Amino acid sequence: MDRFMWTNGLLEMNETLVIQQRGVRLYDGDEKAKLDVGVVLLSTHRLLWRDQKNHECCICMPLSQIIFFEEQAAGIGKSAKIVIHLHPAPANKEPGPFQQSKFSYIKLSFKEHGQIEFYRRLMEEMTQKRWENTPVSQPISTTAGLKAGRTRAVGIVGIERKLEEKRKETDKNISEAFEDLSKLMEKVSTLSSPSILLTSVTTAKEMVELSKSIASKIKDKQGDITEDETIRFKSYLLSMGIADPVTRETHGSGTHYHMQLARQLGDMLQAPLEERGGMMALTEVYCLVNRARGMELLSPEDLVNACKMFESLKLPLRLRVFDSGVMVVQLQSHNEEEMIASALDNVSEKGSLTAEEFAKLLGLSVLLAKERLLLAEKMGHLCRDDSVEGLRFYPNLF
């Protein structure tokens, strides 16, 4: 029992809790220790025990102290136990509840069971020896070393002093962490777009670096930004998203919500639409919008309803439903006749085209390419050849 030392019960930086079990009594060798029933905690580095009622009363020992351990089955009127054999206490050990002990082992008596799982996890930790790979940030020995020069404060005063020290330490750590974060935020806010959805700190950092490099290159008028960088930058910009997404929370439900949503869609879809030749399938719009919105995801129904508002709000976009039921969002300026004429030109040039070939030719999705061909057919400019080879479109010679 003399291997135990006082602790505040908090885990160190690199330490993680593995398992805890309440209703455990400690035995010093074969004798009941003069401690009440408590909670035993197993971390990656230590074995801790805390009094169930008085939480200040908490003791621990490093796992490295353990030589081996064994199970002791339950009997009549006896709880199951785990016997833990220990190395002798190091000379510079911090004070604990027991100054000396004639036993070189302790027992954990599980009044409320759970010994099987605890045993298994303890076995895991002992074989993995994670305390060796990731030493805790402030190894216990250093604090112990500092302590060594000081008068040994034992008992309640000692505990209090230790707690106070720990608290100060934690405070310091936290304020350092916040300092880092605010530096990062400063960096981010210097970017051109004020609306940034931070998905992760690493992305933000990458973004800052990337934008800096691009900005400096543009400044130098070298203009030789690699394609790779452009693409990456573009993808970051895309995922940056909408600063203040219209949500049901901000705009209530019903028509007003859809109207606001439609306005926002109008703003954000303009550029991608122009890039894609004036037309996008609604599914594509859905993906794009939700990616930009980040956490405030939109339901497909809300999107459709918002798109239906385009016309009444006099926005330059339109929701269009093809005869096949395919829905697309297109720019109002998108000229249908031109589109049909271009389809006819393409088909005439090649003699005949399938939707797939046409899609490849224009860089559109097959679905949209097909809709264009069908539209041209509907207008009587094309006719079809539906054979085993698939559906081909020909100029209408009839």
Partner 1 sequence: MSFEWPWQYNFPPFFTLQPNVDTRQKQLAAWCSLVLSYCRHRKLYTVDVLEVQESPVFNNKKIERKLSVEAIQVVFEELRKKGNLEWMDKNKTRCLIMWRRPEEWGKLIYQWVSKNGMVNSVFTLYELSNGEDTENEEFHGLEDWMLLRSLQALHAEGKAEVITLDDGKGVKFF
Residues at the site binding partner 1, with contacts judged by CB under 8 A: 352, 377-378, 380, 383-387, 392, 394, 396-398
In sequence order, what are the residues at sequence separation of 6 or more whose Cβ sits closer than 8 angstroms to the Cβ of residue 309?
A: 258, 259, 261, 262, 315
Closest approach of partner 1 to the CB of residue 234, in Å: 41
Nearer residue to partner 1 within complex by CB, 135 or 380: 380
- Minimum CB separation of residue 323 from partner 1 in Å reads 10
Bridge partners for 387 per DSSP: 390
CB of 377 to partner 1, least distance (A): 6
Give the shortest CB-252-to-partner 1 separation in angstroms: 45
Q: Whole-number minimum distance, CB 267 to partner 1, in Å?
A: 39
Nearest to 126 by CA among 38, 40, 48, 65: 65
Supply the minimum distance, in Å, between the C-beta of residue 393 and partner 1.
8
Smaller CB separation from partner 1, 94 or 377: 377
Nearer to partner 1, 290 or 352 (CB): 352
The whole-angstrom separation of Cα 86 and Cα 106 is 8
Nearer to partner 1, 18 or 383 (CB): 383
Measured from the CB atom, the residue of 251 and 350 that comes closer to partner 1 is: 350
Burial class (CB in 10 A: 0-12, 13-18, 19+), 191: middle
Instruction: Write the DSSP symbol of residue 75.
Output: B
The answer to whether 395 and 382 are in contact (CB under 8 A) is yes
For the chain, what is the radius of gyration of the CA atoms?
Answer: 35
Distance in angstroms (rounded) separating the CA atoms of residues 56 and 49 = 11
Q: Tokens 């719009």 sit at which residue?
A: 285
| CB-nearer residue toward partner 1: 259 or 379 | 379
Whichever of 300 and 390 has its CB closer to partner 1, that residue is 390
Shortest distance (Å) from residue 344 CB to partner 1:
13
Task: Count how many residues are written for the chain.
Answer: 398
* Residue 376 amino acid letter: A
Tokens representing residue 151 in the block = 């008068």
End-to-end, the C-alpha distance of the chain in Å comes to 102
Tokens representing 27? Answer: 């035995």
